[in-house]
Amino acid sequence: MFAVTEPGSIPVAYPTWVDWRIERRAAAAAEPLPLAPVATCFCATCWGQGNIWSQAANGEGLIPRACPVCDGQGVCPQTPPHTA
């Protein structure tokens, strides 16, 4: 029995290398998760950052503020394409 430690996870014990290989192949063959929900698109105002830089109230430089278009989320609902 041996333990495998991957970055960002806890050590996992496997009885044989074959068991480890089977699990790794299944994970590698799995469909990757989307970066954003399917029905959304990245905000064009803040470029998906969730905040925009605006002038400070005292006039001394710029400060980050929540994007007014996406409310600081970085994504907006995608409008369905118009069909004629």
Q: 69 is written with which tokens?
A: 């278009």
Which pLDDT belongs to residue 7? 75
Question: SS3 of 24, please?
Answer: helix
Residue ranges per structural domain of the chain: 1-32, 40-77
- Return d(Cα 11, Cα 6) in angstroms, integer: 7
- Measured in whole angstroms, the distance separating CA 38 from the mean position of its chain's CA atoms is 13
Between 56 and 41, whose confidence is greater?
Answer: 56
Structure confidence at residue 79 (pLDDT): 65
Where do we find the tokens 């470029």?
A: 47
pLDDT at residue 19, rounded to an integer? 87
Q: Is the pLDDT of residue 16 over 60?
A: yes
Average pLDDT of the chain is 81
Question: Is 80 exceeded by the pLDDT of residue 39?
Answer: no
